[in-house]
Amino acid sequence: MNKSNPIREEMLFILGHVLQTSQKQFSNKPLSVAISKADFISIAQHVGAVTKQERAMYKNLELLEKERLISYRRDKQKRSLCFSQKGYQAFQRLAQRHEDWHAIRQKIADAELLKGNRVFQTVLEI
């Protein structure tokens, strides 16, 4: 990341951990998980990690896109967030550096939003 912004770092971490957590159930299948911006923001707000308003969170996602850490790709009918290679590397560095975000990890793992899988779209990878 160019400028260390704690909010964007936290959002990048949450996105990475949400995608990793939800992807685990499809690890042996040719499926991947896709999530929209709106669904990601509702999860981040539900977890209570990011205290910004919804519009500010959209703006931070746009800034992460400008920094080429994430992209917003089109999958058939729905658009979804995904990491760029640079973004995934930044997420891995953040995950190693911020062990104190264990509380966020636990809230994501316990979140009812993830257990129902209503917010995720599964995509067949060919």
Q: Is residue 105 part of a domain?
A: yes
Q: Is residue 74 part of a domain?
A: yes
For 58-82, the pLDDT digits (tens) are: 999 999 999 999 988 876 667 888 8
Q: Is residue 1 part of a domain?
A: no
pLDDT at 72: 84
Q: Is residue 47 part of a domain?
A: yes
Confidence grade of residue 1 (pLDDT, cut at 50, 70, 90): low
Q: Is residue 83 part of a domain?
A: yes
Model's pTM, two decimal places? 0.75
pLDDT at 19: 86
CA distances, 28 to each of 73, 99, 125, 126 (Å): 24, 28, 12, 14
Q: Is residue 99 part of a domain?
A: yes
Confidence grade of residue 126 (pLDDT, cut at 50, 70, 90): very low
116 vs 48: which has the higher pLDDT: 48
Q: Is residue 26 part of a domain?
A: yes
pLDDT above 70: residue 32: yes
Instruction: Print the domain residue range for 85.
Output: 6-124
Q: Is residue 19 part of a domain?
A: yes
pLDDT at 79: 82
d(CA 124, CA 126): 6
Confidence grade of residue 36 (pLDDT, cut at 50, 70, 90): confident
Q: What is the CATH number of the domain that holds 34?
A: 1.10.10.10
Task: Count how many domains the chain has.
Answer: 1
